[in-house]
Amino acid sequence: MSSKIVVRREVPAQPQLSPDELHPVLARIFNARGVRSRDELEYSLRHLLPLSGLKGIEQAVSVLQTALEERVLILIVGDFDADGATSTALAVRALRLMGAAEVGYLVPNRFEYGYGLTPEIVAEAVKRRPGLIVTVDNGISSVAGVEAARRFDIPVLITDHHLPGEQLPAAAAIVNPNQPGDGFPSKNLAGVGVIFYLMLALRSRLREADWFARQGREEPNLAELLDLVALGTVADVVPLDHNNRILVAQGLARIRRGHCCAGIRAIIEAAGRRPGNLMAADLGFAVGPRLNAAGRLDDMSLGIECLLADSAAEARELAKRLDGLNRERRAIETGMKEEALAIVEELYTDEDADLPLGLCLFQESWHQGVIGILASRLKDRLHRPVIAFAPGEGDELKGSARSVPDLHIRDILDAIAASHPDLLSKFGGHAMAAGLTLHREHLGAFRDAFDREVSRHLTPQDLYGRIYSDGELLPEQLSMELAELIRNSGPWGQGFPEPVFDGLFEIVQRRIVGERHLKLVLKPPRGGGVLDAIAFNTVDSGWPEEVTRVQAAYRLDINEYRDRRTLQLLLEHVQPVSAR
């Protein structure tokens, strides 16, 4: 398997931020991430991009305003992931706050209906007699579904952030920053960010129309919904550009102050986290997966109901069920990963040259709801794009793809579809993740086509796991003060990664804890105190017997245990340097 290498981030020759303005380490970090001014580090709501740049938003507001005035049922059709769940909950909560007569939601069961507003979902929606269907986090590719709704005289308002295909649906209105002709400066809004912007625009229109006064209703404070925006944005792993960092920072601030919905608070508790010091990473690795587990194994309605619960007792009960599903998901994932690695070991030698650059794996027993996580884990382990397949309906196979940096996986699938038009039944997605469907008989041909297409863009030399470092820290900088400063300078996440540093350390002590984690006590060679460090899922069985030093890439972490806070190095990569 390919090994990892540490690559130091480049700082521009003419950095925009000066060490005179910021702590010198922070200045180096932000310059390496392309921050151009101190304004990009301001996260108040007044710095949000104006909603006027979103194409179609005025028409969308008109459609919603008509639905409110005519008091029809507004039916939200969401997606079955965390972004879809938070988008659905936000739309329902916001419309209720603004006086909608009736708001409901419908989420496709991924195992019965697949993704998006399909004709089958429209048939289910028709039974509820909606006056308007609003899609959240989906719909931009639902040409057939919108046409089906039109046959029943049901207008459809699409809000989405996914990349569109060649044909747009004939919807009453479309709001999507990635649709052709859209002038919104940020193309990185998650689905929940798109619907949040639309609700802001609707509130503004209703205020101008004197709606709230006529209804005898107080104008809602939509900032109360930013906890949902933060969770959906982080969980969907969209790039945290400045606008998204504002949304996440504001949502996190509300959660830390205890001003979040009962459902999010309950999931945080079920995950063993404390709301008061929650970080963006906790949303991505602890809260989001528990919400996603409902859509992967059962029905995302469970997660949405948790987010809509106003009773703490009800929210805790639902969060407990979500936590149980997440435990089940982890067990399934572990078994599938072991099977996948066994397949790789059996089919290919240990030499990287024999392992395809683009890897496709299928097992009859694999769970359709977990293949996305499996593909992600294998991608991280093997350092190459991976597609994991599971059985679908009839002779169909469902695939979930995960990519590596510098390889746009949806473009790869698009190229295969163009050169082999009979292979793929459907596909869609982003640069780093995509979904696809094909007939079982086409798997072998697709596997070959995928490897060939990936090989046009990558070479074996590209397939090293890269850890990007912000350089070395001086002994005096290995401190709680800098760790606190970095923690409070986020939010960190996709496209704006938490700082990683690298350096040489002397080993004071080393041992294995929990059977698979390497616990170290380290000391900088140029002076300074000893430091606790841990490398998860790492053991030292392959090291020379007497190792004296290690080269490590690490994050500064604050370990909190029994109300005691200590500095800890979280090791992203560690390797022995010398032995006696």
Q: Which of 144, 141, 147 is nearest to 160 (CA)?
A: 141
Full domain range(s) for residue 389: 348-463
Last residue of a domain, one of 441, 463, 485: 463
H or E element in which residue 106 lies: strand 102-106
Q: What would the mean pLDDT of 425-443 be, rounded to a whole number?
A: 89
CA dihedral 67, 125, 195, 131 (to 10 degrees): -10
287 lies in the same domain as 184: yes
Q: Which of 80-89, 174-183, 404-413, 538-547 has the lowest mean pLDDT?
A: 538-547
H or E stretch at 449: helix 443-455
Is there a domain that residue 203 lies in? Answer: yes
Q: For residues 428 and 534, state if they share a domain.
A: no
Q: Residue 46: left (phi > 0), alpha (psi -120 to 50), or beta?
A: alpha
Q: What is the pLDDT of residue 350?
A: 54
**CATH number, domain with residue 477:** 2.40.50.460
> What is the CATH classification number for the domain harbouring 198?
3.90.1640.30
> What pLDDT, on the 0 to 100 scale, is given for residue 1?
39
* Number of independent structural domains in the chain: 3
373-396 pLDDT per residue, tens: 899 989 988 889 999 999 998 899
488/468 Cα distance (integer angstroms) = 21
Last residue of one domain, picked from the residues 407, 435, 463: 463
Residues 311-350 pLDDT 10s: 999 999 999 999 999 999 889 888 988 888 888 877 765 5
Query: For residue 514, with 0-12 CB atoms within 10 Å meaning exposed, 13-18 middle and 19 or more buried, which class applies?
Result: exposed
Q: What is the mean pLDDT of residues 122-145?
A: 96
Q: How many CA atoms does the CB half-sphere of 229 hold within 13 Å?
A: 28
The predicted model scores a pTM of 0.89
6-20, 185-199, 204-218, 396-410 — which is least confidently predicted?
6-20
Given 304, 322, 340, the domain boundary residue is: 322
Q: Are residues 189 and 235 in the same domain?
A: yes
137-167 residue pLDDT tens: 999 999 999 999 999 999 999 999 998 988 9
3-state class of 563 per DSSP? coil
Cα distance between residue 64 and residue 302, in whole Å: 26
Residue 390 shares a structural domain with residue 360: yes
Contact status, residue 29 vs residue 499, Cβ threshold 8 Å: yes
| Residues 458 and 471 placed together within one structural domain of the fold | no
